[in-house]
Amino acid sequence: MADNSTIALSLDEVEELAKSVLVAAGMDEHGSTVLAGLVRMSERDGPRSHGLRMLPVYAQSFSSGYANPEADPSVERIAPGVLRGDGDNGYYQIVAAKARDELIEMARANGIAAFTCANCHHLGALRFDTGLLADAGLVALGVVNSLSMVVPQGGTRPVFGTNPMSFACPRPGRAPVVWDQASSMVALMDIRMAAAEGHELPRPAGLDPNGQPTSDPNAILETRSLLPFGEHKGAAIAFLIEVLGAALAGGTLSVDNANREAHGALNIKGGSTLIAIDPARFGNAAFEGYVQRICAEIEGNGDARVPGDGRLKNRAAAEADGVRVTADLMKQLRELL
Residues that bind ligand NDP (CB under 6 A): 46-47, 122-127, 144, 146, 162, 164, 166, 179-182, 187, 268, 305, 307-311
Q: Least separation, in Å, of the C-beta of 12 and ligand NDP?
A: 23
Smallest gap, in angstroms, from Cβ of residue 4 to ligand NDP? Answer: 23
Tell me if residue 183 is catalytic.
Answer: no
Query: Counting Cβ atoms within 10 Å, is residue 329 exposed (0-12), middle (13-18) or buried (19+)?
Result: middle
**Element at 180 (helix H, strand E):** strand 174-181
Q: 55-63 vs 11-24: helix axis angle to the nearest 10?
A: 10
Please state the closest distance from residue 303 (CB atom) to ligand NDP, in A.
8
Q: Please, which residue, 11 or 280, has the CB nearer to ligand NDP? A: 11
- Per the residue annotation, which of 20, 30, 49, 328 is the catalytic one? 49
What residues contact residue 320 under an 8 Å CB cut-off, 6+ apart?
Answer: none
Is 50 a catalytic site residue?
Answer: yes
The beta-strand segments (E) located in 92-163 are: 112-121, 139-144
Given the complex with ligand NDP, which of 32 and 267 has the nearer CB atom? 267
> At its nearest, how many Å lie between ligand NDP and the CB of residue 305?
5
Closer to ligand NDP by Cβ: residue 71 or 123: 123
**How far does CA 121 lie from the centroid of its chain?**
11
- Please identify, using beta-carbon distances, which residue of 34 and 106 lies nearer to ligand NDP: 34
β-pair type (82-91, 112-121): parallel
Beta bridge partners of 276: 113, 140
Q: Which residue is nearest to ligand NDP (CB)?
A: 310
> Which C-beta is closer to ligand NDP: that of 103 or that of 185?
185
Phi, psi values for residue 19, rounded to 5°: -60, -45
DSSP assigned state of 227: P
Nearer to ligand NDP, 106 or 126 (CB): 126
Would residue 190 show up in a list of annotated catalytic residues for this protein? Answer: yes
Computed over its alpha carbons, how large is the radius of gyration of the chain?
20
Please state the closest distance from residue 161 (CB atom) to ligand NDP, in A.
Answer: 6
Among the listed residues 50, 129, 225, 278, the single catalytic one is: 50
Q: Are 117 and 271 in contact (CB under 8 A)?
A: yes
Which of these is catalytic: 190, 208, 216, 256? 190
In contact, 83 and 96? CB cutoff 8 Å = no
Q: How far is the CB of 134 from ligand NDP (least distance, A)?
A: 13
| Order of all β-strands in the sheet with 112-121 | 74-79, 82-91, 112-121, 269-277, 139-144, 165-171, 174-181
Catalytic residues, by residue number, are: 49-50, 190
